Amino acid sequence: MNLPLDGGGKRPAWTGGKLRPHTLFALETQWQSWLDVEATLAEVQAEMGIIPDWAAREIRSAASMDTIGVDAMKVHVNRTMAPVLSLTRLLAQAAGDAGGYVHWGATTQNVMQTGRILLIREADKVIRANLASTLKELATLAENHAATLMAGRTNRQHALPITFGFKVAGWIEEMNRAVDRLDGGSERLFSLPFGGAVGAFHAFGDKGQELHCRLAGRLGLRDLLVPGRAMNDLFADYVVQFCLLAMTIDRIAGEIYLLMTQEIGELGERLEEGTVGSSTMPHKVNPKFVVRVVSEAAELRTMAGMALETGRTSHEGDASVNQLVSSLCDRAIPLAWRLTESFEALLSRLSVNSAQMQRNIQLTGGAIATENLMMVLAPKTGRAKAHDAVHHALERNRPDAATVTEIMQSDAGISAHLTAEQIRQALDPAKYSGDSERIAHEAAAMARSIAERLVSVR
Round to whole Å and give the CA distance between 264 and 254.
14
Please check the confidence at residue 421 and state whether its pLDDT lies above 70: yes
Strand, coil or helix: 418? coil
β partners of residue 269: 350
- Chain centre to alpha carbon of residue 96: 45
Based on DSSP, count helices (H) and strands (E) in the chain, helices before strands. Answer: 19, 4
What is the average per-residue pLDDT within 193-205? Answer: 89
Contacts of 51 (CB under 8 A, 6+ apart): 42, 45, 101, 104
Please check the confidence at residue 390 and state whether its pLDDT lies above 90: yes
CATH number of 367-431: 1.10.40
What is the average per-residue pLDDT within 320-345? Answer: 95
Please check the confidence at residue 2 and state whether its pLDDT lies above 80: no
- Of the candidates 128, 127, 108, the residue with the CA atom closest to the CA atom of residue 116: 108
Round to whole Å and give the CA distance between 375 and 417.
13
CATH 1.10.275.10 fits 27-106, yes or no: yes
**Cβ-contact 416, 101 below 8 angstroms:** no
Instruction: Output the CA–CA distances (angstroms, integers) from residue 284 to 17, 280, 281, 376, in the order listed.
Output: 40, 9, 6, 47
What is the average per-residue pLDDT within 265-283? Answer: 79
CB atoms near residue 157 (< 10 Å): 9
For 336, list phi and psi in degrees, rounded to 5: -60, -40
CB atoms near residue 87 (< 10 Å): 28
Burial grade of 187 (CB within 10 A; 0-12, 13-18, 19 or more): exposed
CB atoms near residue 250 (< 10 Å): 21
Please check the confidence at residue 277 and state whether its pLDDT lies above 70: no
Round to whole Å and give the CA distance between 264 and 83.
56
Q: Which helix (H) or strand (E) holds 267?
A: strand 267-269
Which CATH class for the 109-191+198-272+282-361+439-456 domain? mainly alpha
Please check the confidence at residue 15 and state whether its pLDDT lies above 70: no
Round to whole Å and give the CA distance between 289 and 330.
24
End-to-end alpha carbon distance in the chain: 15
Strand, coil or helix: 149? strand
DSSP letter at 150 equals E
What is the average per-residue pLDDT within 44-55? Answer: 97
Please check the confidence at residue 185 and state whether its pLDDT lies above 50: yes
What is the identity of the amino acid at 375? M
Round to whole Å and give the CA distance between 357 and 431.
16
pLDDT of residue 167: 98
Q: Which helix (H) or strand (E) holds 157?
A: strand 157-163
What is the average per-residue pLDDT within 41-46? Answer: 98
Contacts of 379 (CB under 8 A, 6+ apart): none
Round to whole Å and give the CA distance between 13 and 27.
12
Band (pLDDT 50/70/90 cuts) for residue 318 is confident
Please check the confidence at residue 6 and state whether its pLDDT lies above 70: no
Round to whole Å and give the CA distance between 60 and 53.
11
What is the identity of the amino acid at 195? G
Do the domains at 109-191+198-272+282-361+439-456 and 367-431 have one common CATH topology? no
Query: What are the residue boundaries of the structural domains of the chain, listed by start?
Result: 27-106, 109-191+198-272+282-361+439-456, 367-431
Whether the pTM exceeds 0.85: the reply is yes
pLDDT of residue 4: 44
Tell me the DSSP string of 80-117: HS-HHHHHHHHHHHHTGGGGGGTTTT--HHHHHHHHHH
Please check the confidence at residue 93 and state whether its pLDDT lies above 90: yes
Across the chain, mean pLDDT equals: 92
pLDDT of residue 12: 34
What is the average per-residue pLDDT within 384-412? Answer: 86
pLDDT of residue 457: 65
Please check the confidence at residue 250 and state whether its pLDDT lies above 70: yes
Round to whole Å and give the CA distance between 269 and 285.
10
